[in-house]
Amino acid sequence: MTEKYEGMLERFLKYVKTETRSNPASTTIPSDPKETAFLKELAAELEDLGLDNVHINPQSSYVMATIPSNIDYKVPVIGYIAHIDTADFNATNVNPQIVEDYDGESDIYLGEDGKFKLTLADFPSLAKYKGDTLITTDGTTLLGADDKSGVAEIITMAEYLMAHPEIKHGEIKIGLGPDEEIGTGADHFDVKDFGADLAYTVDGGPLGELEYETFNAAQAEIEIQGKEVHTAVAKGTMINALQVGIDLHDSLPIHDRAERTEGREGFYHLYKMEGTVDHAKMTYIIRDHDREVFEERKHLLERIVAGLNAELGEERVTMKLYDQYYNLKDALDGHMEVVDMAKQAMEELGIKPDIYPVRGGTDGSKISYMGLPTPNLFAGGENMHSRFEYVSLQTMEKAVDVLLKINELNLQNK
Round to whole Å and give the CA distance between 290 and 265: 9
Among 85, 132, 147, 397, the one annotated catalytic: 85
Round to whole Å and give the CA distance between 100 and 227: 61
- Is 48 assigned a catalytic role? no
| CA torsion, ordered 250, 361, 124, 18, to nearest 10 deg | -110
- Is 100 assigned a catalytic role? no
Q: How far apart are the first and last CA of the chain?
A: 34
Among 180, 181, 203, 397, the one annotated catalytic: 180
Round to whole Å and give the CA distance between 169 and 171: 7
Give the sheet arrangement for strand 390-392, strand by strand.
Answer: 97-99, 134-136, 390-392, 381-382
The DSSP bridge partners found for residue 223 are 281, 318
3 state SS for 138-157? CCCCCCCHHHHHHHHHHHHH
Classify residue 161 by its DSSP letter. Answer: H
Among 29, 89, 18, CA closest to 56: 29
Positive or negative, the CA dihedral 290, 201, 211, 98 is: negative
DSSP SS3 for 101: coil
3-state helix, strand, coil in the chain (%, to 5): 35, 25, 45
CA 150 remoteness from chain centre: 11
Among 81, 288, 50, 117, CA closest to 200: 81
Buried b (16+ CB within 10 A) or exposed e, 207-238: bbbbbbbbbbbbbbebbbbbeeeeeeeeeeeb
DSSP 48-83: HTT-EEEEE-TTT--EEEEE---SSS--PPEEEEEE
Kindly list the catalytic residues: 85, 180
